[in-house]
Amino acid sequence: MDQKMDRRKFLKVSAAAGAVMVAGELFTHGSSTARAAGQITEAEKVTITIVTDNYSDFTVPPYKIASRYFPSPGSPIVDYGLHAEHGLAYHVETVVNGTAHSFLFDYGVDSYGVLRNMNLLKVDFAKIEALGLSHGHFDHQAALIDVLKAKKSAIREGVPLYVGEETFVERFTRLMTGGVLSLGELKREDIEALKLLRIVEVRDPTPIVPGAYLSGKIEMVTEYEKGQPPLVIKRGDQLQQDFFLGEQAVVFNVRGKGLVVASGCAHRGIVNAVKQAQKISGTEKVYAVLGGFHLTGAKPEIIQRTIADIKAVGPDYIIPTHCTGFQAITAFAREMPEQFILSTVGTRFSFGA
């Protein structure tokens, strides 16, 4: 995709909304988030499809904004089941000024299962305008290279891959028995060798396609969302606690509804991610919070404080996925029953008209 054409198209869309924005340059140096307030282009509609997640259930019915995958009549029985895993991948569509845009965010682990799901869910790679990655952990990027290889002929050359800082670094977890376990590494050279994507590292809030924004660095402002000490990163010859400095969430402002905040793992805290979305958009109203909240294994008091703060935000919908953990998911379902929606692989969440 030609970079100049991308910018011209984006400027046209943004001007109609009263803000002049350039992809990758929306927020300049200095007090960027202060200038960003109120400048996030509204989308008429946002659709997020769960390409892969930890949980699959063919029998879960549609509910409110959630439509579920169902095979076409006459499909082979094998098409009835979608692949689930300890991983997460999204396909996202926005509609701005009547024009549809689409991108991928996170890519799961098992490329065979992820690609199978993409085919069953009819993900059209020819329409993909960008790719984004929340962070460098294997459960969000391990399938990426194989997906790119399999779909190379359909993807337009030069499509941007947006990543945060410290994406291409090996990560580890400390074991209770001593020592560390490698969580793998996404290598820049493996992506560049494909001669397909244009890697763009972001630090500030950045548009990924019209109507969708990467959060930029998520400020850790809550007292209790302080990272996970067992998770470490290799800096030089040292292993240090990984605070996921470059972790990205995706932020949307749906016309007449409010913000939709989609996280990958929310290692920097899901409440912090929501606060970041409110700050960069200048919008307090939150329509939906979706994604991995990284509360698996968290102490009960941390889960309760998170739920209390999300309740205070008052989203219309709460959709925990992936690494939120069984205890936290069931707690959200119990304490926010009107807002809670169960995520399953293949679910399409439709926000807006």
Strands ordered across the beta sheet of 238-241: 180-182, 171-174, 231-235, 238-241
Q: What is the pLDDT of residue 31?
A: 37
Secondary structure class of 102 (helix, strand, coil): strand
Q: What is the pLDDT of residue 327?
A: 98
Strand bridging mode 128-132 / 99-107:
parallel
Q: What is the pLDDT of residue 84?
A: 98
How far apart (Å, rounded) are the C-alpha atoms in residues 53 and 345?
6
Secondary structure class of 346 (helix, strand, coil): coil
Structural domain boundaries enclosing 340? 3-352
| Secondary structure of 130-163 in HEC code, one letter for each residue | EEECCCCCHHHHCCHHHHHHHCCCCCCCCEEEEE
Q: What is the pLDDT of residue 353?
A: 80
Q: What is the pLDDT of residue 101?
A: 98
Q: What is the pLDDT of residue 30?
A: 34
Residue pLDDT, tens place only, 283-312: 999 999 999 999 999 999 999 999 999 999
* CATH code (residue 162): 3.60.15.10
Q: What is the pLDDT of residue 236?
A: 85
How far apart (Å, rounded) are the C-alpha atoms in residues 287 and 231?
31
Q: How far is CA 278 from CA 38, 268, 310, 313, 353, in A?
A: 10, 16, 13, 10, 22
Q: What is the pLDDT of residue 123?
A: 98
In contact, 206 and 213? CB cutoff 8 Å? yes
State how many domains the chain has: 1
pLDDT means over runs of 10, the chain (353 residues)? 42 36 36 50 98 96 97 89 97 98 98 98 98 98 98 97 96 94 96 98 97 98 95 91 97 98 98 98 97 97 98 98 98 98 98 92
**pTM of the predicted model as reported, rounded to 2 decimal places:** 0.89
Q: How far is CA 29 from CA 34, 122, 166, 205, in A?
A: 11, 40, 19, 11
Q: What is the pLDDT of residue 33?
A: 41
Q: What is the pLDDT of residue 27?
A: 38
